Every structure is written in C-alpha cells, then in structure tokens.
Amino acid sequence: MSSLLSINKDTKFFGILGFPLSHTLSPLIHNYLFTEYKQNAIYIVLEKEHPDKFTLFKDKGLIKISGLSVTIPHKEWAFEISDECGDETSQLMRASNTLVLKEDGQIYSYNTDGQGALRAIRECKKNIFSSKQNILILGSGGSAKGIACEIVKSEFQGNIFISARNKEKGKELSQILNNIKPSICEFLPLEELEPNGSRYNIIINTTPIGMHGTNEKPILNDEFLLKKHIVFDIVYNPLFTPLVSSALKVGAKVILGYEMLLYQAIEQFKLFTGISVSKKYIELLRKLLEEKLGKV
C-alpha cells in the first residue's frame, strides 16, 4: 500500500463512495490487501451526498480515481454513469456496487453484492439450496437487487419474497426477477407482513435500519423470528443489530454483515487488480474485522 509519504506518479487511487460513510470498514480490507500483494495503490473514503462522474473520473486536474466501491445510496447512480456494463447482474438490475476505470478511459460497472451474499449463505450452511427454501428479502434498493439477482441465477429452486416500504420499487424488482425465472418472486408490502415468519427459511435485511447512527425501530417484530430461520443482516456496524440480537434470542442461525462485506470486497479487489485473494488472507481479514467490530 502507498502511504501519504510514498505516493508517486504511478500510485493508483481507489475508494469507497457513499453517504454516510462514518461506519465503513472497506478501507481496512482494501489497504490491507494492497499492502500484502505489494500494490502501489491506496484506498480512500469519498463521502459524497451528490457525486459527480467527471470530478471523480475525468478531471485531469484532480486525483484520478481508478476504481470505486459504491454503497448506499449511489448504486443505481453508479450503473447510470458507467460507459459499459461488465456483468449480467448490473445489466439486469441496473444497479452496481463497483466502478472501474479502464485503460481506454471507459468506466465499467459491476455488481459483487450478490456474489458476496451468496458465498456468505453457502459458508453458513453447505448445500443450502439442495432443498426448496423460501427467502424473505427486506428492502428494494441496490443491495437487494444484486443479492436477489444472484440467488435467482443460482441453483436456487424456492421462492423469493420482496418486502419494502417503497411499493413501486419493490414491485419493479419482483417483476425483474420473474422475468429472469417465471413465478419465482412475490412482493409483500412491509406493513402487510404476517405476524410470524413461519413460511420463510431465510431472512435477509438489505435496508440500513439498525446501522450505527440510525434510530428507526426494528424492521421486524420479535414474534416474527423463529428458531428455524437463518437471519442475514448485511448491516455490519454495529455487529449485533437489533435484528441480529432478536434472532439470537430465539436461537436462529445468524449470518453477520461483515461476511458479505468481506466476500464482496474480495471480488472487487480482483476487479481492481486482477488478483484472486488466497484463503490465507481471507481468514486473516476475517480476524481483523472481528477484532475491529468486537465480535464475542
């Protein structure tokens, strides 16, 4: 990794773009990997409420960004401003969490959210999709789109239920998924969810509710959660969100948000550098994240 004292004309700049970003651990992951793989690169935080494509990528008078991780609320923007779409998920969902500036000056968009989430689910329970599973996805934004698309494209044979406050976006996402695989998805308004979640096997929260600094009430009532559930909250700061804490109380199996953070970042790092991260560094990064977040 390049430090501020060793930046030179060949140093490449990467970063995370979103708003707000006080909670982000992406710099920890990427700068660690830049150091271990001896890359002349540095990863910075770009907290912007209203990002501008040309300031970030095109203006020769400023630092030129070679690649970006993109988070809430800019994933649809990231797809829209890209010159080329680099993968099917971004194209289908029109939402991207990764932007890469190629040598020809074109900005390519990708979505690694779904890959990260799918790997986290499979690591939690091997062969999880070998039997029919019903998945409830909370939210309809960029993260929900990437995760839902990768699940539908996988060997998954069950049904997906999208539940969100934004009915228009929720119905739109459901229709996109049904276009990929007919009758796989149904939209349920958040306020109309049944009193308990007995029809679901896996619950995935893709909303920012529960994130450090937010004061909204829990997205699900305690009565909704059951011991049979696998509960996956992609929020990782705090580690034990209200949803995760409620799931643990009833004895449900939990996937903590940093698992998706780690696996999607590994895919991003490969897009940034062409390097596939070894298992050794994946495990070392997991330990770093657990220490940082205070896992018990």
Q: How far apart are CA 190 and CA 127, in angstroms?
A: 30
Lowest mean pLDDT among 49-58, 108-117, 150-159, 284-293: 49-58
Which CATH class name applies to 114-255?
alpha beta
Query: Structure tokens of 176?
Result: 């996109």
The answer to whether domain 12-111+259-293 and domain 114-255 are alike in fold is yes
Average pLDDT along the chain? 91
Q: What type of residue is 284?
A: L
Please confirm whether the linkage preceding 182 is cis (ω < 30° from 0): no
- Give the percent of the chain with pLDDT over 70: 95
DSSP alpha helix (H) spans, the chain: 26-36, 53, 75-81, 88-93, 113-124, 142-153, 167-180, 242-249, 257-273, 279-293
Q: What integer is the mean pLDDT of 71-89?
A: 94
pTM for the model stands at 0.89
Q: What is the pLDDT of residues 199-257, one digit of tens each?
A: 999 999 999 887 876 667 778 988 999 999 999 999 998 889 999 999 999 999 999 99
Domain spans, the chain? 12-111+259-293, 114-255
Please confirm whether the linkage preceding 238 is cis (ω < 30° from 0): yes
Q: Mark 58-74 as b/e (b = at least 16 C-beta within 10 Å).
A: eeeeeeebbbbbbbbeb
Architecture of domain 12-111+259-293: 3-Layer(aba) Sandwich (3.40)
Looking at the annotation, which residues are catalytic?
Answer: 75
